[in-house]
A and B are shown apart, each in its own frame.
Chain A
Amino acid sequence: MTKAAPLVFEDLSVGDEIPELVRGPLLEPHLMRWSATIENWHRIHYDQRFTVEHDKLPALLVNGSWKQHFMVQVVRQWAEPEGWLRSIGFQFRAMDTVGSTLTAWGRIAELAEEGGYGNVKLEIGIRNQEGQQSTPGTATVVLPLRGGPAVPYPFPAS
Chain B
Amino acid sequence: MTVLTDEHRALIGVESEPRTSALPVSEELLRRFVHGVMEPDPVHWDHEVAAASKYGELVAPPLFPMNSMRRAPGGPDPMDRLKDDPEDDGRLGGNPNGLPPLDLPFKRLLNAGTEAEFFQLAKIGDVITVRAKYLDISERQSRDGSPMVIVRVQTTYTNQHGDVLAKTTSSLIHR
Looking at chain A's contact residues, the main secondary structure is mixed
In the bound assembly, the distance between CA atoms of A50 and B91 in angstroms comes to: 13
- Least distance between A119 CB and chain B CB atoms (Å): 13
Segment touching A, from B5-13, B66-74, B126-134, B141-149 = B66-74
- Which of under 10, 10 to 19, 20 to 34, or 35 or more describes the interface residues of A? 35 or more
Determine whether the beta carbon of B113 is less than 8 Å from that of A92. yes
| A85 contact set on B, CB distance < 8 A | 62, 118
Known: A37-B33, A87-B115, A87-B117. A73 touches B41 (CB 8 A): yes
Known: A81-B53, A89-B114. A41 touches B39 (CB 8 A): no
A10 within 8 A of B: no
A34 within 8 A of B: yes
Determine whether the beta carbon of A155 is less than 8 Å from that of B119. yes
In the assembled complex, 12 residue pairs joining A and B whose CB atoms fall closer than 8 Å, in A order, are: A1-B41, A30-B38, A37-B67, A38-B67, A42-B91, A65-B66, A81-B54, A85-B118, A89-B113, A92-B112, A92-B113, A153-B55
**B residues neighboring A (CB under 8 Å):** 32-33, 35-43, 53-55, 61-63, 66-67, 70-71, 79, 87, 89-92, 110-120, 163-164, 171
